[in-house]
Chain A
Amino acid sequence: MAETATHTADHASDHGHHSSTGLSNNKLAMWLFLGSECLLFGGLISTYMLYRGRVSDGPHPSQIYDIPFTSVSSFVLLMSSLTMVLAVTAAQRKDDRRTNLWLTVTAVLGATFVGGQVYEFTTFIREGLGFTTSLFGSSFYSLTGFHGVHVSVGVIMLLSTVGIIKKNKITGNKAEVVELVGLYWHFVDIVWIIIFTLVYLIPA
């Protein structure tokens, strides 16, 4: 009896805390959070779709978008999803060295994307598109800015995960912690997949 209890406790420790469904509470919470994030970004994307043609002053979308530059940024973010999933598989194999390597590469790719976005914003401001210039400007900066903040938070999460793995501070299931960070990171990527098509590639 005691042995069974010990075994169950060990099992729970290996696979995180489980709900009555037998699923990890942490994963359930993360998926619920991501489902709610769809509503946040849905609101921002639909606001942009409504207002992208409303340019009373300042440049129009087609005058300022730099598609080759944004395409490279998109490619960088897409590849960061690959390095993230490689970090997750390395964590499942309990290979800490490769896990940290891929997490760091993902963070660097994410930081590159954010750097590209900062460059894009400063270029747009120089060309006369401020946050309050037009409804197009407000909705564009709100949408892409919120996404950029999410990527930045993701980079902080990735680097923090590298730090806590190095210090061996994760008491529970290490692979699940990396997987949860990965879920957030991939979500940021799928939001950009939508933004890249609807905002940049489809003309207003």
Chain B
Amino acid sequence: MSETAEHHDHGMSDAGYIKIALILAAITALEVSTYYVDFGPLFMPSLMIMMVIKFVMVVSYFMHLKFDNKMFSFLFYTGLALALFVYITALATFKFFIA
């Protein structure tokens, strides 16, 4: 029971982290393969999806956001959402109105 509580507080076991790292390595290999293999119209969406999956896996498991207090998730994802909003707006402005 105490061990379960410990894992709930601090994340996963070492073996669990190694599994996550192997999945991340496999996704990275798949990303690199897009440079050599023609993915056609799936090229861009597949790269973006793989990037987001890797990002979320590292943040959730290695940075423990999945197991930690939701306040930490709020602080981080608020910064991230603000950055995305500001810079997508800026990029759209330059792309459509200034270029």
Q: How far is the CA of A74 from the CA of B35 in the complex (A)?
A: 15
Q: Is B1 part of the contact surface with A, judged by Cβ < 8 Å?
A: no
Count of A residues near B, CB < 8 Å?
A: 48
For the A-B complex, the count of residue pairs with Cβ-Cβ distances under 8 Å equals 122
A201 located at the interface, meaning its Cβ lies under 8 Å from any Cβ of chain B in the complex: yes
User: A82 and B17: CB pair below 8 A?
Assistant: yes
Mostly, the B contact residues are helix
Give A31 to B21 CA distance when docked, in angstroms.
Answer: 23
Pair A31/B75 contact, Cβ less than 8 Å: yes
Give the interface size class of chain B.
35 or more
When the two chains form the complex, which single residue of A35, A41, A89, A198 contacts B14, counting CB atoms closer than 8 Å?
Answer: A89
From residue A45, how far is it (CB to closest CB) to chain B in Å? 7
The smallest beta-carbon distance between B85 and chain A, in angstroms, is: 9
Cβ contact within 8 Å between A50 and B94: yes
B80–chain A nearest beta-carbon distance, Å = 5
Q: Which residues in B have their C-beta under 8 angstroms from that of A82?
A: 17-18, 20-21, 62
* Shortest Cβ distance from B84 into A: residue: A42
State A167–B63 Cα separation when bound (angstroms): 27
A39 partner, pick from B20, B31, B34, B83, beta carbons under 8 A = B83
Determine if B31 and A197 form an interchain contact, defined as CB atoms under 8 angstroms apart.
yes
Residue of B nearest to A200 (CB): B35
A86 to B10, CA, bound (A): 12
List 9 A-B pairs, minimum CB-CB distance, nearest first: A35-B79, A42-B83, A82-B21, A46-B87, A197-B51, A38-B83, A31-B75, A38-B79, A71-B32
